[in-house]
Structure 1
Amino acid sequence: MEDYIVEGSRDKFFVPNVNLSGNTKKGAIQGESYLEEPYQFYEDIYKWIANYFEVTKGEFTLDIKLTYFNTASSRALLDLFINLKELSDNGAALTVNWFYPDPDDEEMLMEAEDLIEESELEMNLVEYAL
C-alpha cells in the first residue's frame, strides 16, 4: 500500500504535515491546520485509513500533534473522528494518540476532550513539554 504524504506549509493557509504509512502501520498529523478546504483534506486522510483496514486488516496508530487549528478544521476533525469511531466499532484495530503541550497550555487538551466527547472515539491524551 502506498504511503500518503502531505508536506505542510504556512502560506496563505496553514497545512499540517501528514504521513500515513502502511509499512510502519503508523500515521501522523502535525503542525497547524487553517485550511481552505478542511473537509476534503481530512476526508482524504479518512479514505486512506479506511482503505488501509480493507487491505491489511492489521493495526494502525495515528498520532495527532496540532499546535493550532481553526473552527472549520475543528469541524472537519470531528467528522474524521466520527468516521474513525465507526471503523473502530466495526473491528478496526486503531489507536489514536492526541499530543498536547504541557498543562500550562490547556487549550489543546480541552479541544481534544471536546472532540472525544462529541465523536465518542477513544483517544490517548499524551502530554509533551514545549
Structure 2
Amino acid sequence: MENLHIDPTDEEPRVDFNAENGILEISGNSYPEDTSSVFKPIIDWLTKYTEGSGKKVQFNFKMEYFNTSTFVKFQKILKLLEDYHLNNDGDVEVNWYYEKSDLDMFDNGEDYQADVEIPFNMIAY
C-alpha cells in the first residue's frame, strides 16, 4: 500500500500517513468549505489500511484549529480506528497534541478521548 501525503493549504491540514510504519499524522488547520471532499481520500486510505488485522497504528493529531464539520470527520476517523482496535486485533494508539494554553484544543481532545475505547494520550507542548 502506498503512503498518503497531502500538502497543507491555508484552510486544509497536512496529512502524512506512512503505510510501512503505521504512523499517521494530521496537522495544522482545517476549516475548508467542503470537508467531505477534503476528508474523502483520508478516510478511504484509512479504511483500506485497516483491512485485515494486527497492524500497529499510531495516529497523531497536531491541530492548531478546526471547524465543526472537521470535528465530525475526526469523530469518523476515531470510530474507524476504534472498530479496528476492538474487532480486528489492531494495535491502535492516538496522540492528541495541544498547546498548553489552548484550552479549547484540550477540551476537544478530552471529548474525543471519552468517546472511544482506544489508548488515547493527551500531550501538551
Do both proteins adopt the same fold according to a TM-score greater than 0.5, normalized to the shorter chain? yes
Q: How does 1:101-120 map to 2 (within 5 A)?
A: 101-102=99-100, 104-120=101-117
Gaps of 5+ in 1: none
What is residue 49 of structure 1 aligned with on the other side?
Answer: 46
What is residue 15 of structure 2 aligned with on the other side?
Answer: 18
Q: How does 1:3-42 map to 2 (within 5 A)?
A: 3-10=3-10, 14-42=11-39
Q: How many Å apart are 1:122 and its aligned residue?
A: 3.6
The TM-score normalised by the length of structure 2 is 0.86
Q: How many Å apart are 1:55 and its aligned residue?
A: 5.5
Gaps of 5+ in 2: none
1:9 counterpart SS class: coil
Segment of structure 1 superposing worse, 56-65 or 88-97:
56-65
2:60 to 58, 63, 69: 63
* Percent identity (aligned): 25
Q: 1:42 to 1:122 in 2, by over 3 A?
A: farther
Question: For residues 34 and 117 of structure 2, what CA distance do their matches in structure 1 show?
Answer: 24
CA contact 1:98–1:124 (8 Å) conserved in 2: yes
Aligned residue pair count: 124
Q: 1:94 to 1:47 in 2, by over 3 A?
A: farther
